[in-house]
Structure 1
Amino acid sequence: MAAATQGQLSIDDSSFWGSRSIECFEKLEQIGEGTYGQVYMAKEKKTGEIVALKKIRMDNEKEGFPITAIREIKILKKLQHENVIKLKEIVTSTGPEADEEAKPDSNRGKGNIYMVFEYMDHDLTGLSDRPGLRFTIPQIKCYMKQLITGLHYCHVNQVLHRDIKGSNLLIDNEGNLKLADFGLARSFSNDLNANLTNRVITLWYRPPELLLGATKYGTAVDMWSVGCIFAELLQGKPILPGKNEPEQLNKIFELCGSPDEINWPGVSKIQWYSKFKPARQMKRRVREVFRHFDRHAIDLLDKMLTLDPSQRITAKDALDAEYFWTDPLPCDPRSLPKYESSHEFQTKKKRQQQRQNEEMAKKQKLQHPQQHARLPPIQPPGQSHQQRWGGPNHSMNNSHPPLTSGPNHHQYGKPRGVSGPNRYPPSGNPGGGYYQDTGGQGGYNAGGPYPPAGRGAPYPASAASAGGPRGVTGAYAAPPPNYPQGGQYGGSSRNQQYGWQQ
């Protein structure tokens, strides 16, 4: 790849992409599968670097290359930022692979194409679903600031993500958060007459304008999703869990009020407004429902969940919100605790296995009912039965010690809410992150152990390239006392320029 000038986007072709074979990598295990392909944790044989390999499924393509994959590759080559997942290269196989022997019809032996991504330790959904884990306010501010910083970079470079959700936000054990899964992303222009599809964004994070059928929209659709993520982190569970589109709209109206020409000029002209217009007037209840939040958090959330997209807060303005500039300040990512790998795909698989074990135990209990327990033997006079039969926790009966579980609550003491297979709705994109997960929220969702150290470091901010804004370096608010002051958002001036094209 031609060397990129610092502060600019790299749009030059990588001459070596596609020239290397999949044989350069050792597949360690499959960590995801969905509509558009599988994802494997793999190790580069020469360097030992751990990566994620996303196989591009070609089975459904009669001829040519999937347009969705072309769009994703093009956008990821364009975006070079510390809060955006890095596409390292493309590799190919020229014929059937060893792991395809059990699948003789797989791609008819024509070979495969893989996208090679940097490897991340967690996704936000998998991490927040860990039993007993509670995010602190500084930790939430840290993750939210990185999310909005990465999204601001995308918007400045005229890219809509269109699938912001927890499992598409990848986190490493250094505390860095990166936007992933650009399979539904789309470059946009300032041409307001362009028609875009409204069948994007996972249902629970989809803004009201798309649910009402709008085909002309902009960056505000991503900011609604960010607001849903923000409230979910603070509340400890998804805030708008609709089962279908009408129910989703109704939940939005119950929280944010009924849309009309007063609070949303032009809403009556959106094609499905008359069909889904609520029968009764509903008042806005965002501040009432989330009154237990910090007042600066409520202010920011209120602006993110504004019905009228033209009045919704932008990513740039959100970075300057009081929430990120008042105590407690966002923590340094490096100060965050390190966890065992946690991805939604991984936690879902564990839940499914647990349910299967419970069902099997119930069947065995029905088929082989237990006999009455034997009565304790007659004790010699003067000896207490209690000494010998101390109950289920006594040492004589402790083959199954009592189970304890830590608190499964987040910052405001609310339970995580729904668990099980329907914890998240079907996705606008049947997958997420590096990978697509047909059954849920999706994620690049990698599973399995990651090496604690020795991975290749994330690409430097100086890898940003020609013709656009440079990536943020040290993109955090005026830092707390536990780490040095400075960085993109540090210092005394909140109105400091981002150094990007505005």
Structure 2
Amino acid sequence: MALAAFGQLNMEEPPPILGSRSVDCFEKLEQIGEGTYGQVYMAKDKKTGEIVALKKIRMDNEREGFPITAIREIKILKKLHHQNVIHLKEIVTSPGRDTDDQGKPDNNQYKGGIYMVFDYMDHDLTGLSARPNLRFPVPQIKCYMKQLLTGLHYCHANQVLHRDIKGSNLLIDNEGNLKLGDFGLARGFSHDHDVNLTNRVITLWYRPPELLLGATKYGPAIDMWSVGCIFAELLNGGKPILPGKTDPEQLTKIYELCGSPDENNWPGVSKMPWYNQLKSPRPLKRRVREICRLFDRHALDLLDKMLALDPSKRISAKDALDAEYFWTDPLPCDPKSLPKYESSHEFQTKKRRQEMRQNEEAAKKQKLQHPQQQQHGVGQTHAASHWPAGPNHPMHNAPPPQLSHAGGPSGHHYYQNPHGGTPGPNRYHPNGNQSGGYNNQSRGGYSSSGSYPSRGRGAPYGVGPPNYSQGGGQYGRGQNPIAGGARNQQYGWQ
């Protein structure tokens, strides 16, 4: 088998023959995700006791063999080995009809199933950000962003586009490590951009303008736009900055923030397939620095470069790692110094909210069915038995918006290839920042122990050594590392 050139993936090489173990070797503990391509479970290896994540590859809609998306995902993940990329441990199979974590048979009309086994991660960024009263201090934001950019730079250096960067696909364990997850939409690319690629990728809120205008030749810059949206979201107290519901609305929000594109600020944009249909009816000025003026100066400089309309002018992951933002006080903290939180996944958060809504609706229905009970006085306690014990006060979180296909962040877990809706801006706690910025003094330092202590469900497994040495002091412990071009030497990449 011919070897690939350095920095490239050999996509011709088939994945190793796996599946020698049965899924019966694992005990399903809890469902933590669900999407078009199957369910995801937290599970325990019965032999070693290790906690893992099982992603079931849904086969009931396949008529012509193994899903091509799963084949591509497996090939890519077997080639990527980095501390900031989710690790595919193995592939396991089930000989007969599967059951869920409650022991109930699944709906697969075919016998058997195939599972991808991943490292279990305690949180995804969306689920963690949605925790009530939780605000990330600046050193923690820098820590997460630096890990995200490091993992993404590794992917781009190996000619892999992720094509679905969003909060629910950024996985975090209780050791503070962040990993890129869900490579279901990922694919290899060539730098000459001679291949037409689909533009129906990346969840709408994080989709760059070139894809919305119909581009089919693109590169790593599409991922960097998504990273910019995530960055702004972290700085903005967890509130999304571009929550559009349709493609035209999404472009309108982009134009209102970043200005309307033309041949002056984006040469060649008028040749985009859908430019004439979706161009701004009037010229709009770029307002990133005005709207985000409360952000830290170095953070604003980096964000402005990430959200460049012209993809050729958008900053790369490698250059972003060298931005002043990561080399000025307060420095990125050591991941191990971060607080430990109770498990927080977007799927679980949505499930809890759904249960709250159901309880609320049941209480309202009970009132409508027994209107006379409301006329009884306080002393008539015999009516109490008719009232449910569930909450009947207004909820803090409104129901998620109903978005169109591919619109809005996916409600599915990070291991899934996502579709559907997600909680809108109201999913954040009322005490969260709604002002569009943050105050460094008010956000100060943070405690090494969180307000949600771990309940013993931390990651009981090790993370392998990094594929590329990053040298000491990468998280800013001790003194500020040397500045200038020497910074990039610690990453060992070209």
Whole-Å separation in 2 of the counterparts to 1:43 and 1:360: 36
1:80–1:86: 8 Å Cα contact kept in structure 2? yes
- Relative to 1, partners in 2 of residues 1:265 and 1:112: Cα closer, same or farther, differing over 3 Å? same
Whole-Å separation in 1 of the counterparts to 2:8 and 2:209: 35
TM-superposition CA deviations, 1:357-401 (whole Å, max 9, x none) = 1111112223334235358xxxxxxxxxxxxxxxxxxxxxxx999
Specify the SS of the correspondent of 1:330.
coil
1:433 pairs with 405, 414, 423, which one?
414
- Relative to 1, partners in 2 of residues 1:475 and 1:424: Cα closer, same or farther, differing over 3 Å? farther
Deviation at 1:41, TM superposition (A): 1.1
Alignment partner of 1:139 is 2:118: no
Whole-Å separation in 2 of the counterparts to 1:238 and 1:453: 28
Whole-Å separation in 2 of the counterparts to 1:471 and 1:73: 25
Alignment partner of 1:233 is 2:214: no
TM-superposition CA deviations, 1:429-458 (whole Å, max 9, x none) = 96452135544359xxxxxx9844571111
Deviates more, 1:16-25 or 1:236-245: 16-25
1:263–1:308: 8 Å Cα contact kept in structure 2? yes
Amino acid in the other structure paired with 1:311? K
Amino acid in the other structure paired with 1:440? G
Whole-Å separation in 2 of the counterparts to 1:181 and 1:221: 16
2:253 alignment counterpart: 251
Whole-Å separation in 1 of the counterparts to 2:191 and 2:170: 27
Q: Which has the higher contact order (CA 8 A, sep 6+)?
A: 1
Q: How many matched pairs?
A: 442
Specify the SS of the correspondent of 2:486.
coil
TM-superposition CA deviations, 1:7-57 (whole Å, max 9, x none) = 998998775622111121111222222111111111111100000011101
TM-score normalised by L of structure 2: 0.82
1:421 pairs with 390, 394, 400, which one?
400
Specify the SS of the correspondent of 2:110.
helix
Whole-Å separation in 1 of the counterparts to 2:103 and 2:345: 28
- Relative to 1, partners in 2 of residues 1:16 and 1:472: Cα closer, same or farther, differing over 3 Å? farther
- Relative to 1, partners in 2 of residues 1:105 and 1:290: Cα closer, same or farther, differing over 3 Å? closer
- Relative to 1, partners in 2 of residues 1:133 and 1:301: Cα closer, same or farther, differing over 3 Å? same
- Relative to 1, partners in 2 of residues 1:433 and 1:472: Cα closer, same or farther, differing over 3 Å? farther
Whole-Å separation in 1 of the counterparts to 2:476 and 2:55: 38
Deviation at 1:150, TM superposition (A): 0.6
2:301 pairs with 299, 302, 306, which one?
299
Specify the SS of the correspondent of 1:40.
strand
1:90–1:115: 8 Å Cα contact kept in structure 2? yes
Whole-Å separation in 1 of the counterparts to 2:125 and 2:341: 12
1:438-449 correspondence to structure 2 within 5 Å: 438-441=419-422
Q: Which runs of 4+ in 1 moved over 6 A?
A: 7-14
Deviation at 1:173, TM superposition (A): 0.5
1:273 alignment counterpart: 275
| Structure 1 unmatched ranges of 5 or more | 1-6, 376-398, 409-417, 443-448, 465-469
TM-superposition CA deviations, 1:294-344 (whole Å, max 9, x none) = 111111111011000000111111111111111111111111111000011
1:495 alignment counterpart: 486
Deviates more, 1:26-35 or 1:419-428: 419-428
Specify the SS of the correspondent of 1:253.
helix
Amino acid in the other structure paired with 2:165? I
TM-superposition CA deviations, 1:103-151 (whole Å, max 9, x none) = 5751422x11110000000000000000010110111111111111110
Alignment partner of 1:57 is 2:58: yes
Deviation at 1:193, TM superposition (A): 1.8
1:97 alignment counterpart: 98
1:203 alignment counterpart: 204
Amino acid in the other structure paired with 2:272? I
1:18–1:89: 8 Å Cα contact kept in structure 2? yes
1:337-416 correspondence to structure 2 within 5 Å: 337-368=339-370, 369-374=373-378
2:311 alignment counterpart: 309
Amino acid in the other structure paired with 2:358? Q
Amino acid in the other structure paired with 2:232? A
2:157 alignment counterpart: 156
- Relative to 1, partners in 2 of residues 1:499 and 1:319: Cα closer, same or farther, differing over 3 Å? closer
- Relative to 1, partners in 2 of residues 1:436 and 1:13: Cα closer, same or farther, differing over 3 Å? closer
2:32 alignment counterpart: 31
1:212-231 correspondence to structure 2 within 5 Å: 212-231=213-232
2:45 alignment counterpart: 44
Amino acid in the other structure paired with 1:154? C
Give the CA RMSD over aligned residues: 3.1
2:213–2:275: 8 Å Cα contact kept in structure 1? yes
